[in-house]
Every structure is written in structure tokens, then in C-alpha cells.
Structure 1
Amino acid sequence: MTQAAHNASMVAPRFNGGALRELLIARGLLTASDWRIAQEVAKQQGLSEVRALLDLGQVGEEQLADALCQLLSLTRWTLDANEAQLTEHVPIGFMQSGMVLVLEAQALEEQTAPDIHIVLADPSDKFTVMAVLARFAPGGDLAQHPVRLFVGTHKEVAAFLEERAHDGEIESAQDDGAIDVSAELSQLRDMASEAPVIRFFNQVVERAMDLGASDIHLERFEQSPRLRLRVDGVLREETPPPANMYEALLCRIKILGGLDIAERRRAQDGRVRMRLRGRGVDLRVGIVPTMYGQDAAIRIQDRQQLADIELADLGFTQAQSDALFGAAAKSHGILLITGPTGSGKTTTLYAILRKLVSSERKIMTVEDPVEYAQPGVNQMQVNPAINMTFGNSLRHILRHDPDVILVGEIRDQETAQMAFQASLTGHLVMSTLHTNDVPGSFVRLVDMGVEPYLVNAAVEGISAQRLMRRLDAQQPRNADGSANYRGRVAVMEYGRVTSAVKQAMLQGAEEGAIRRALLAGGFEPMRLAAERLVAQGMTDEAEMLRVLGANDPDVATEAGA
């Protein structure tokens, strides 16, 4: 087998978090609870699960390395005198940040190129692994080198790099032609400030605003970049940037968002405030590493458009608006807006909140992140890195004598219990839930640890909503007969805690029973509201099916009962 063929058959270790969890539990090194904690820390801090386990001290380094060797069928690394030299072909800065060693073994007489030994402290870090292996794959600049993979501990890798630094090997490797990372970043920064890059980015944002897009997606694939805009909830292709501009464009976005342009391995989030065509625009920027580079997702928030938005502008009927404002007018209790991501929950909450702002009320929010800047409202952003979670933030807020509290999302038991406690001690609490409908929201609250009697006592109303594309009033159909959509309209269902709902909650909080209790009190399911919009010509049946899916026969039977 030729060396190119050998390297072609080499694949990156296929890390499986679930398999590692089971292996560690089977060895008695970890509990299921330990793993869940590590997963949460990994998610919050942008770490791999392996790194989170080590940072939390839940598993010893040696034990974890042995488990990874078994899981991935790799060899445990021990220092060999024949491989004591760091390769000059991979930047030292990359090895230090990725906790990886790329070592050259002494070449045998018959070899034209020395063996390369790659020592991974974290085989679950697929981006580091793929970046290293790409250099030695067929077509890579180092494909002539035979490659072997090993697993080492973080301590071993760090100690080896530190020892070589003291011996002067790292400096010599950089002097002998390793990539100068700082020079590369400086060049990228300069390119990001050039007119073509600035002009392209501004044109993309302006184009998105003209189309009423909610998001910009800039994505890197193997062959070329891709640019897409989300218009009325649906992604559409746009002309992408030239491939040689992609990195500079990404650097431009990072600079504007106050992000670290040198960070390529972890996700980053930031905010940008711009003025285009005399209009103020807020951009919420997210950068994530992918197999072929980094992707950017940009949420657009037009400050002028949002400043005076009303529920009627979102498509709510007068009766629906009255129901929501009626619940928000109470001095205490909970008002919940539910629905999937992108269904307009936060926009609806702020349209309600804006009506409550007055010199006589103190309004405080805790959000992740703060999406809209609202004058007259004290707004806080969660920060898990300093333990500023939704639950902890609520504890602090309650000491500041608020009248109204907006919680960006009730996502765990701690937040749910704190929110209900606040609502029962003289505060109006407004928040969101990720549930599909009103009956399911009651069940979800109980599943999160809120007692049914507390739900009965505190909930003033729950509204579930979706956004459907609206047919153009002037030209609802294109020449080919296809639908011509322009803008979106909200479709919702609203439920209150009636005596029948209270009884259903106390008898077991079963979703079907709660739905029947709501219907008995005049509850109109979302699908009936959507069918009414179709009948009125505001949207069409195809769009209703796209957003709501096919009708559930059991739900339809209950609704018609």
C-alpha cells in the first residue's frame, strides 16, 4: 500500500459522547448525574464534554485517557526517544490552543519522510482533529508522511510543550518557517478594514432590511461560501461573497461585534449597533466553528421598526389583544407566551411591556440575551460564566422592589419556582416557554416541578402563537399561480385557568383532560384561528400546513365536541 493510500484510509476518531458516558459509568468512574452536570457546563462555557469532565474533576486524567483509548481503539501515548522532536510543519500556537502534539519520529533508512505521531489530549475536539489530519490526507501538503494517532493526558501534552519551550525548540520551530499566526491575524484585520469588505457587508445588511429579513446566515462549505437570508420564516439564497473574501468578511463581523478575531475553536456571541440609511439597526451576532471553517448567524433588529410596534401590527385581533392586556393589567400573577423558536414570542412580550411603562411602575427584565433596548425598563442579561443564571438573577431582582418582571424564558426548575414565587408575592411576571400549545404548557410547568395548585393560583393566562406568511393583499397570486406572500401574521390560542382547568390540574394534569376543560370554557384552538385566516384570504392552506402540520384527529375530535 502506498503512503497516500494508507493516509486515505485513516479517518478521524469517531467520538460518541453517549458511548463514553456508558463506559465511564460501567467502570464506576462516573454517575449519570455527573455526566448531566458536565454536559450543562460544556454547553454554557463552549467546552467539549471531555474538557468539562476534567475541569470539574469528575474523572482523573489517566482514567479518562484509558477510557478514550478503549472507546476509540487508539494507543495510549508514552514518550519515545525516537519522537522527541516537534514537527516544524504545524504552528506551535495551534498545538498549545488545541492541546495536541504533532511529533516527528526518526526516519528509517528506507523512508523518504519520517513518521508523524499525533497525540490528542481531547479526541472529542473534532475541529482540532480534522484540522491536523487534513494536512496529512491525500492532497494535503504533508501527505507523504506516515501518521499514527495516540491519546495523551492534558498534563502530559502541556508538560511536553513547556519543556520544549525551555529547551528553545519551540522558538526554533517558529523561526524555521512555522506559520506566524499573529501576522496572519494582522493581515486579516487589515483586509477587514478595506473598502470592498466593508461595502459587501453593508450591502448584505441593507438587502436584508429591504426584504424584511430576520436573519443573515453566512456559511462556509468545502467548495464555496453560502449566503442566505431568512425572509418571512423561510431561508432564501443570495449571491455569496467571493471565496477569497470570506475570512476577511468574517473578521469584519467579529470586529464590529467586539469578538476575538483570533478565536476559531469556540463559539462566540456579540452585538453590533449600526446606522444605515439614517436608520438604527441592532445586530445580534453568533459565530460557531464548523468542519470547513466558521459560520456566522446574524439576527437583525430594526430599532425604528420595533419602537412603536403594536399587537395589531403583528396580526392579533382586538379580542386577542384585549385578553393579553387584561392579564398584563393584573397586579400579580404570571402571563406566559409560548411557541417554538422564531414564533415571535419576545416581540409579543415587548409589545405588551411597552404599554406598561410608566413613572408609577418599576419594570425589570432578565434575558438571554437582551434583544430589545426599552427605555424606562431595567434590563439584565444572564451570564452563566459568573453564575448569573435566570434563577439567581430573579433572586436579586426581587430585592429591588419591582412591580413587573419579564423573564426571557422559563427553561428549568429553578427559574420556574422563582418565577411562581415572585408572582405569588405581589409581582406581575411575564415570560416565555418552548411548548407547542396552551394545554401542553400546563403540563410542562408541572413537569418542571411546579405544583398544580401553584399553577392554578398564579397563572393569569397562557398564549401560544405561530407566525404564518401573509398573502399579498394587492397580488395574492403570481403569474404562474403560486402564492405571493408579503410579511407574516400571528395566529394564536389563549387559555385561562377556569374552574374546569383547576379541577383537571388537580386530578393529574393530563394534557387531553386539560384541553377538554379549556374547550368547555370557550377556548379556541390555534388551528381554528388559522382556518379563519385562510377563509378570510389572509393566508392559504399550504402555509397553514407548513406551519401547523397536518391536523391531529384526536385534537380535532375534542375541538368539535
Structure 2
Amino acid sequence: MQQAQQEFLAEVLTRHGVVPADKIEPLIATAVEKGQPITELVVATELAPEATIAQAIAAEWGLGFMKEIDVDAVPLSCAEKIPITYAKQHKLLVLSEDEARVYCAVADPLDVEAIDDVRTVFGKPVELAVTTNKTIMDAINRVWERKEHGGTTLESDAEHEADELIDILDADDDAPIIAWVNSLFSQAVRERASDIHIEPEERDVVVRFRIDGELYIARRAPKQHMSAVVARVKIMSQLNIAEKRLPQDGRITLKIAGKSVDIRVSTIPTSRGLERIVMRILQKTSVLLGLDELGFAAREYGIMDGLIKRPDGIILVTGPTGSGKTTTLYACLNRINEPTRNILTAEDPVEYELGGIHQVHVNAGIGLTFASALRAFLRQDPDVIMVGEIRDRETAEIAIQASLTGHLVLSTIHTNDSAGAVTRLVDMGVEPFLVRSSIIGILAQRLVRMLCPDCKEPYEATDYELQQLGLDERTMAWKHNRKISQRYQPHGVPYSPPGSDLKLPPIFYRPKGCEACSNKGFVGRRGIYELLVIDDEVGNLILQNADAQAIKRAAQNAGLDTLRDDGARKVIAGLTTVEEVMKAKQEDILEDI
């Protein structure tokens, strides 16, 4: 984009009150230097949302603004006349045509060359409507996904780099099975599925997606196609298509709707004579979050941020499978990832490669266990070590040795709550004094579904719901007035106990369902957390070999917020529901005293 266009767009944004003149002036030179549209810089610097910019541009040229595009109303016969690669490059979508003109949605009405091309292809004047980059790209992908059910193809090579992969929606082969598998992947990514289950039933094949922790039936297919579908997935994941008696594991790397996606594949034989496939979808956008994006309360964020910047000690993250432990560990590593630190990880498997961090995929079959990897790490001059899981005494003792010799160690362990991690280590055979001297913090976590902000419904909370969350008048007053120890109250981080400013009965929210959330009522998941810091009182209890209940009560007296407390805070904020919190909370988690 030329400098004259950049300056003109800047003038438009200023004239329409989108961005103050003193804020946008410094961006013009940057936009010209980088060749990046100034509108993108405005969004990136959070000076204005993309929709507001698009509305201003539409108003300047007297064009309509489209908040959403009904892709089901777009005739494929119109859209297909402009190749998808061209449509994506110029961010335009032909919506319809009549005898007089063709109607087109664009993100950039100044792209005169592209608009002229559309006019040439259709032989008619073009009537434009402006929308956002995100809306137009999503609409293009969804329109071509409709076509894909009838024949788009993909040839994937797991060895290719992301920028060398063919986008699944850009391919043009018409093989039915290939197209069916491709459409399955693109549908799963669009609907934010974490897993795809392809299951042979008695009469047909059932495909289920796991979305925000719940399984939903996504589609069905004739049973006679199951063998061909399995063969296609095996070819893509470089598995042995002739071997149908044994389980196999593989991996696929794809590019779907412009996003690089890794897919872990697992096949097993079933009693029906056909294989069952489960595929885990790994997207960097869902795993690689910042520490401030995980959903910590301000106080817990301050504590956790301080712990991971310590030079030594062990930080444990605990919770069941699928509770987001890997995401939390990656967020911690990214937070402290600097050229001045040597960070090594041992993982099973390595889910994503992190720049500046040296990762090892453990393989017990060749003797490369967590324990042996840890031993090798100690000879690699590490500053920070991440171990995927502490499963046995040997791994635990090497991790403790590493922490006591000046290294920060991050790992996970399977227990129900934070205090249970202490007793679990002792049960493994680790001496209590070693636990006391090495562990600096334990984070228990669960994932709860977040309510859709577009359709959630308010209602008056019941007494039973308040009781479930520990938010009756007595406990609210106790939480509000209890003494918070300095250990749990870092300087500069205000403390707001759940319910401290709550008036009974409060307003909670429940799911309804709308188009934005695919009528599920929920969009995405975030964590609820319980962060135990090993202070003197808790440390003395560990030395006395106290049980988990005694340790947790002492921590609560010092200001620990339990999983239920953090869940209550998110319910009060209208982020989730009582049912989600109670479903995530294990029965043996102590109630507030």
C-alpha cells in the first residue's frame, strides 16, 4: 500500500473519530516502512476494533457495512467464479448476482484492481459492501467448505513446514473419500473441536467431536465407506494401511483455513472387524497462551508470576488428564523464555515446538524415560527444566536434586488438589524434609466451559446454588474479614474474596444457545485454580508428615482460595455456571471452613 493511501486512510479514521490524530500520526511512518496497512496497525495496537474501522471506511464511501455474512445464502455458482486463492488474497467474496449487477463483500474497497477483475468476470457493475478481514476470511472458508463435501482434496506431508503446506480449502482434487476426510478436518477446526472420534457402529459410521470437553455427534456416514476412510487417514499419518490387528499411532500436519494444525492419530481394532480412529487436534492458538490469558485472579497471577521467576525450586501443576496442565506449563515457559536462560523440557509427547526452548520427546521403548532425560539435562548446564510428569520415586528424587542444586523445575503430578501433591510425593517414598526444602508452589486446576457472551441469560441465584459455592451470608462475611497472610498477599496485588461485595440474592447466568455458539450456550474453556505456596506453617506440617486435609486447612487459614472459591468468583462474574464448577470440582476437595 502506497504512502498516499496510508495517509488517506489515516485521515478517514481521524475524521470519523475512530482514532485521535495524535495517536495515529506515529503509525503512518511504521505502516509505510513495513508495507503493512495502517488499519492492521491500529487493530494490533488496540487503538480501535476492526469492526469500528470497517464501519468508518464504509461510511466514507457511502457503502453498506456487513457485520455478518450468511454463507448459506451465497450461491456456489457465483462464489466459484472467483478462485479461492484470489478471493483470499484480495479479501473479497461474491455474494450474489441479478440481471443488473453483482454484489460483493470486501474488506478493502480501495482494491480497485480486484473489483475491476470481478466486473470483468461477471460482465456487470459491482455493488460493494464492507466487512472486516476476519468476517470475510471466515465466510470464504465456510463457502468453500460447502463445496468440499462434494470434492476438495488435500495431499499432506508431515515433513513440510507450515508455509509449504497446501491449504485444505485451496486444493482442487475431486476424490469423494479424500474430500470427505478434508471436510471433516475443516469442520472440526471451525467448530473448535479438540478431538475427532470416527466410530464404526452396527449400521453406519458415527463421527463425534469433543468441543469444550463434551462429545457431540457431528455427522454420520454409510458403514461401507469406513475402510476407505481409515485407509485415507492412515496414508496421511504415514501408518501401515495393511496392519489392521494392532493399534497404531501417527501424526498429520495440515494447513486449514490458513492455520497450521497438528493432528495426533490413534487407531485400534474393534470387535466389529473395523478399526476405530481418534484424532487429537493441536492448534498453537489453543495451547500457546500467555500466563495472563489463562484466567488467573489478580492475586494468583501475581503469585504465580513471582514463583516462575525464582532461580530454583519445584513448581507442580496438578489435575486430571485434560485439565490444561500442558497449556499452563507452556505459558509459564513462554513467560520466562529469554536468551539469558537455558530451558530444557522432557515431554511425552512434545505437543508444540517452542522457539528458544530445547525439547526432548521421551521414549521408554529405547530407555529414554523422564528420569534418564532429567539426568542428562543436569549435564547440559540448564537454568530451567520442565518434566512432563513425575510418575515415580526416581523421577521425583532427580527433580528434587536438580532444584536443590540451583535449578527451577516445573512438572505435573496426578492428584485431586494442591495439598494432595505433597502426600503423593511422600507416598512415592520421597522424604518429607526433601519435599519441604524443594517444593515452592503447587497449582491445582480444572477447566470449566465459558458462557457464550452473546446469549447467556441472567437469573436470580437459589439458596441451594449459593450453598454449593459456599456463598451464604456467614461464609461471605468470614471470607471478607479473614486475615490474609503476607505470603498470600504480594505487594501491589489487591485481594477480592469471592462474594465479598455480593448482595443476596445475586444474579447468576445460564446458557441459552445462539448461532455464535452453535446453540451450545458455551464458547471455550478457562481454568479454575488453587495455588498453594509452601510457607512456614505448611512447611512444618509437611515435616510432621501431616495428611492432605491438615495441610489444606492450614493453607486456607493463611488465605488459600480453593478450586471452589475460584469457581465461585467466575460464576459471580458471569463467566461460567454453578453446574460447570461443581462438575469440575472433585468430591474430596475440602469445603471452606
- Shorter-chain TM-score range: 0.5 to 0.7
| Aligned residue among 288, 293, 302 for 1:313 | 293
Point out the more displaced range, 481-490 or 242-251.
481-490
Q: Which residue identity does 2:538 align to in structure 1?
A: V
Can you list the C-alpha shifts for 1:95-123, whole angstroms capped at 9, x where unaligned? xxxxxxxxxxxxxxxxxxxxxxxxxxxxx
Paired residues for 1:385-396 under 5 Å: 385-396=365-376
Q: Report the alpha carbon displacement of residue 274 of structure 1 after superposing the two structures with TM.
A: 0.7
**Correspondence for 1:537:** 574
Point out the more displaced range, 476-485 or 272-281.
476-485
**Correspondence for 2:412:** 432
Contact 2:254/2:262 (CA < 8 Å) preserved in 1? Answer: yes
Match status 1:511 vs 2:491: no
Paired residues for 1:22-421 under 5 Å: 195-292=175-272, 293-307=274-288, 309-421=289-401
CA distance in 2, matches of 1:390, 1:266: 26
| Aligned residue among 442, 448, 458 for 1:462 | 442
Contact 2:456/2:512 (CA < 8 Å) preserved in 1? Answer: no
Q: Report the alpha carbon displacement of residue 344 of structure 1 after superposing the two structures with TM.
A: 0.5
**Correspondence for 1:474:** 454
Q: Which residue identity does 1:282 align to in structure 2?
A: D
Q: Which residue identity does 1:261 align to in structure 2?
A: I
**Correspondence for 2:122:** none
Distance 1:242 1:485, change over 3 A: same
Q: Which residue identity does 2:356 align to in structure 1?
A: G
Q: Report the alpha carbon displacement of residue 551 of structure 1 after superposing the two structures with TM.
A: 7.8
Q: Report the alpha carbon displacement of residue 194 of structure 1 after superposing the two structures with TM.
A: 7.4
Contact 2:346/2:373 (CA < 8 Å) preserved in 1? Answer: yes
Contact 1:442/1:509 (CA < 8 Å) preserved in 2? Answer: no
Contact 1:254/1:261 (CA < 8 Å) preserved in 2? Answer: yes
Aligned-partner SS, 1:241: strand
Q: Report the alpha carbon displacement of residue 289 of structure 1 after superposing the two structures with TM.
A: 2.3
Contact 1:280/1:304 (CA < 8 Å) preserved in 2? Answer: no
Q: Which residue identity does 1:487 align to in structure 2?
A: G
Contact 1:336/1:461 (CA < 8 Å) preserved in 2? Answer: yes
Q: Which residue identity does 1:312 align to in structure 2?
A: D
Q: Which residue identity does 1:322 align to in structure 2?
A: G
CA distance in 2, matches of 1:399, 1:263: 41
Can you list the C-alpha shifts for 1:194-218, whole angstroms capped at 9, x where unaligned? 7222211221111111111111111
Can you list the C-alpha shifts for 1:458-501, whole angstroms capped at 9, x where unaligned? 11111000111111122114669997211112100000111111
TM-score, reference length from structure 2: 0.59
Q: Which residue identity does 2:531 align to in structure 1?
A: Y
| Aligned residue among 538, 542, 564 for 1:527 | 564
Q: Which residue identity does 1:376 align to in structure 2?
A: G
Can you list the C-alpha shifts for 1:360-398, whole angstroms capped at 9, x where unaligned? 111111111111111111111111111111111111121
CA distance in 2, matches of 1:367, 1:301: 15
Q: Report the alpha carbon displacement of residue 540 of structure 1 after superposing the two structures with TM.
A: 1.2
Contact 2:291/2:335 (CA < 8 Å) preserved in 1? Answer: no
**Correspondence for 2:585:** 548
Same amino acid, percent of matched pairs = 42
Distance 1:551 1:341, change over 3 A: closer
Distance 1:406 1:480, change over 3 A: closer
CA distance in 2, matches of 1:263, 1:382: 25
CA distance in 2, matches of 1:487, 1:299: 17
Contact 1:312/1:318 (CA < 8 Å) preserved in 2? Answer: no
Contact 1:338/1:464 (CA < 8 Å) preserved in 2? Answer: yes
Q: Report the alpha carbon displacement of residue 232 of structure 1 after superposing the two structures with TM.
A: 0.6
**Correspondence for 2:532:** 495
Aligned-partner SS, 1:366: strand
Contact 2:209/2:217 (CA < 8 Å) preserved in 1? Answer: yes
CA distance in 2, matches of 1:526, 1:303: 27
Contact 2:449/2:522 (CA < 8 Å) preserved in 1? Answer: yes
Q: Report the alpha carbon displacement of residue 264 of structure 1 after superposing the two structures with TM.
A: 2.1
Contact 2:451/2:576 (CA < 8 Å) preserved in 1? Answer: yes
CA distance in 2, matches of 1:484, 1:209: 18
Q: Which residue identity does 1:272 align to in structure 2?
A: I
Q: Report the alpha carbon displacement of residue 432 of structure 1 after superposing the two structures with TM.
A: 0.8
Q: Which runs of 5+ in 1 are unaligned?
A: 1-192
Q: Which residue identity does 1:432 align to in structure 2?
A: T
Number of paired residues? 363
Q: Report the alpha carbon displacement of residue 532 of structure 1 after superposing the two structures with TM.
A: 1.7
Q: Which runs of 5+ in 2 are unaligned?
A: 1-172, 458-510
TM-score, reference length from structure 1: 0.62
Match status 1:423 vs 2:403: yes
CA distance in 1, matches of 2:401, 2:512: 57
**Correspondence for 1:485:** 522
Contact 1:468/1:547 (CA < 8 Å) preserved in 2? Answer: yes
Point out the more displaced range, 338-347 or 206-215.
206-215
